[in-house]
Chains A and B, each alone.
Chain A
Amino acid sequence: AQSVTQLGSHVSVSEGALVLLRCNYSSSVPPYLFWYVQYPNQGLQLLLKYTSAATLVKGINGFEAEFKKSETSFHLTKPSAHMSDAAEYFCAVRRGGATNKLIFGTGTLLAVQP
């Protein structure tokens, strides 16, 4: 069964610093991987997705993630944090097919300090 582990439930960075949010997955078959962002009292918004094309995926708001099969990782990065990036971030995995599940990690709350 596929699963996702997000290391660090809380991450704090200074404005302008690198953002690195970690996600490791387990899947018996090549997975589809996603990062979502959730702002307070809102639903989830897709940041980016990996669907077996390029291993480096660019998303919205300057975020990107790199799929590393050897490390079973899909870490999310942004070169320079903005105050507006403060939110909760979720990594998710699914295995394509007729019946499948979309499984989420437990989330990482990103705080951006001025």
Chain B
Amino acid sequence: DAGITQSPRHKVTETGTPVTLRCHQTENHRYMYWYRQDPGHGLRLIHYSYGVKDTDKGEVSDGYSVSRSKTEDFLLTLESATSSQTSVYFCAISETGNTEAFFGQGTRLTVV
């Protein structure tokens, strides 16, 4: 299995609070991605990174920000959590722009 660790694995938070999810990889892969998974929507790309300090928006980036200060870590921040951000969040990595992505085990976030 690819060395991808997401933390925390489960979190319950209150509306309006900031939340940061962490993705840590040990594969030294260049690309990292954050997705959210919701029933009926599949996986939707939130943000992705193609190198340290290089990030770009995905399909559903509103309300989310990311940072990548070193190769191994990609942080996803919900500045002010809303109930619509209740979801399962997956981190993925890939070595190049042409190769497959490997996924973490996911973080289940509930905003109450």
Contacts and interface: CB of A to CB of B under 8 A. Distances in A.
Interface of B is mostly: strand
B106 A43 contact: yes
B58 interface: yes
B42 A105 contact: yes
B101 A102 contact: yes
A25 to B, nearest CB: 14
B100 A43 contact: no
Given A94-B97, A98-B50, A99-B56, A43 B104 contact: yes
The bracket for how many chain A residues form the interface is 20 to 34
A70 interface: no
B97 A90 contact: no
A46 B100 contact: yes
Most buried by A among B33, B54, B94, B103: B103
A9 B50 contact: no
Interface of B: 33, 35, 40-45, 48, 50, 54, 56, 58-59, 90, 92, 94, 96-98, 100-106
6 contacts: A34-B100, A42-B106, A46-B100, A98-B50, A101-B45, A107-B43
Given A43-B90, A101-B48, A107-B43, 11 more contacts: A9-B40, A36-B103, A44-B103, A90-B43, A94-B98, A99-B50, A100-B97, A102-B48, A102-B94, A104-B35, A104-B43
